[in-house]
Amino acid sequence: MTAPEFGIFARVFPIGPAPNVAKAIADAGYTLAQLNLKAIGFSTIPEPAEWRQLDPAIVRAAFASAGVSCWGVSCSYNMAHPDPTVRRSGTEKAVELIGHAAAFGARAVTLCTGSRHPDRMWAYHPDNSSKAAWGDMRAELDILLAAAAPAGVGGGGGGGARDRARARECDQRRRGCGATLLRAWPRR
pTM: 0.81
Q: How far is CA 14 from the centre of its chain?
A: 20
Residue 96 lies in a domain: yes
177 pLDDT higher than 90: no
The runs of H, that is alpha helices, within 41-184 are: 56-65, 84-100, 131-148, 161-173
d(CA 92, CA 14) in angstroms, rounded, equals: 28
R_g over Cα of the chain: 17
Residue 2 lies in a domain: no
Residue 180 lies in a domain: yes
Q: Are strands 153-154 and 32-35 parallel, antiparallel or unpaired?
A: unpaired
Domain that holds residue 118: 8-184
Residue 139 lies in a domain: yes
Average pLDDT score over residue span 68-83: 94
Residues 6+ apart with CB under 8 A from 73: 34, 35, 36, 37, 97, 100, 101, 104, 106, 108, 109, 110
Q: pLDDT at position 113, please?
A: 87
Residue 55 lies in a domain: yes
List the beta bridge partners of residue 74: 110
Cβ count within 10 A of residue 146? 11
Give the number of domains in the chain: 1
Tens of pLDDT along 13-72?
999 999 999 999 999 999 999 999 999 999 999 999 999 999 999 999 999 999 999 999
Residue 93 lies in a domain: yes
- Going by C-alpha positions, the residue among 79, 62, 60 that lies closest to residue 70 is 60
Residue 56 lies in a domain: yes
Tens of pLDDT along 102-157?
999 998 899 988 999 999 999 999 999 999 999 999 999 999 999 988 888 653 33
Q: Are 147 and 69 in contact (CB under 8 A)?
A: no
Angle between helix 18-27 and helix 56-65 axes, rounded to 10 deg: 30
Residue 65 lies in a domain: yes
